[in-house]
Amino acid sequence: MTASTEARGLSSLMMDDYPLRIDVLLARAERLFPKVQVASRGPDRTVRYTDYGSVVRRARTLASALLSAGIHRGDRVGTLMWNHSGHLEAYLGVPTSGAVLHTLNLRLPPEDLAYVINHGRDRWILVDDVLLPILEKVRDRIHPERVVVVPFSGAPVPSGLESYEELLSRHAPAAPVPGRDERDGAGLCYTSGTTGRPKGVLYSHRSVVLHCFALAIGLNLRQRDVVMPVVPMFHVNAWGFPYALVMEGARQVLPGPHLDAVSLLDLMEREQVTFAAGVPSLWLGMVEALEKEPHRWKLSPELRMVIGGAAVPESMIRRFDRLKIQVIQGYGLTETSPVLTLAVPTAEMDAWPDDRRYAARARAGLPVPFVEVRIRGDRGELPWDGTSVGELEARGPWIARSYDDEADLSGKWTEDGWFRTGDVATIDPEGFVAIVDRVKDLVKSGGEWISSVALENALVAHPSVREAAIVARPDPKWGERPVAFVVLKEGAHATDEELRDLLAGRFPKWWLPDEYRVVAALPKTSTGKVSKRTLRDDLGKLAGAPPDR
Alpha helices in 505-538 (DSSP H): 532-537
Residue 191 among the catalytic residues:
yes
Residue ranges of E strands in 142-195:
146-150, 162-163, 185-190
Span near its own copies by CB under 8 A; candidates 128-136, 284-292, 401-409, 496-504: 401-409
Q: Could you confirm whether 444 is annotated as catalytic? A: yes
Total binding residues toward its own copies, as defined by CB under 8 A: 87
Q: Would residue 541 show up in a list of annotated catalytic residues for this protein?
A: no
Q: Which of 279/327 has CB closer to its own copies?
A: 327
**Footprint of its own copies on 424-483 (CB under 8 A):** 430-431
Say how far apart CA 287 and CA 320 lie, in whole Å: 7
Pick from 115, 190, 398, 511 the residue near its own copies by CB under 8 A: 398
Q: Round to whole Å and give the CA distance between 114 and 109.
A: 9
Indicate which residue of 297, 352, 384, 449 is catalytic: 449
In 142-279, which ranges are continuous DSSP H helix? 164-169, 205-219, 241-248, 261-271
Q: Which is nearer to its own copies, 183 or 444 (CB)?
A: 183
Considering only residues 46, 68, 195, 223, which one is a binding residue for its own copies as defined by CB under 8 A? 223
- Does residue 2 touch its own copies according to CB under 8 A? no
Is the distance from CB of 53 to CB of 34 less than 8 angstroms?
yes
Query: Cβ distance 424 to 442 under 8 Å?
Result: yes
Are 520 and 486 a contacting pair, CB within 8 Å?
no
Which run of H or of E encompasses 201?
A: strand 200-204
Written as one letter, the residue type at 337 is S
Residue 348 engages its own copies in binding (rule: CB under 8 A): yes
Is 152 a binding residue for its own copies by CB under 8 A? The answer is no
The answer to whether 216 contacts its own copies (rule: CB under 8 A) is yes
Rounded CA separation 518/486 (Å):
5
Taking CA atoms, 158 is separated from 78, 98, 200, in Å, by 20, 30, 32
* Closest distance to its own copies from the beta carbon of 184 (Å): 6
Q: CB within 8 A of 118, min separation 6: which ones?
A: 141, 142, 143
- Residue from 44, 291, 405, 514 in contact with its own copies (CB under 8 A): 405
**Exactly one of 191, 334, 336, 341 is catalytic; which is it?**
191
Q: Which of residues 182-211 bind its own copies (CB under 8 A)?
A: 182-186, 188, 201-207, 210
Of 136, 298, 372, 444, the catalytic one is 444
Tell me the per-residue interface mask from 269 to 308 with its own copies, x by CB under 8 A, - otherwise: ----------------------------------------
Task: Return the residues of window 65-104 that contact its own copies according to CB under 8 A.
Answer: 72-76, 99-100
121 is a site residue for its own copies (CB under 8 A): yes
* Cα–Cα distance for residue pair 549/534, rounded to 1 Å: 13
Nearer Cβ to its own copies, position 383 or 474?
383
220 sits near its own copies (criterion: CB under 8 A)? yes
Residue 480 near residue 443, CB atoms below 8 Å: yes
| Residues tagged active-site | 191, 335, 444, 449
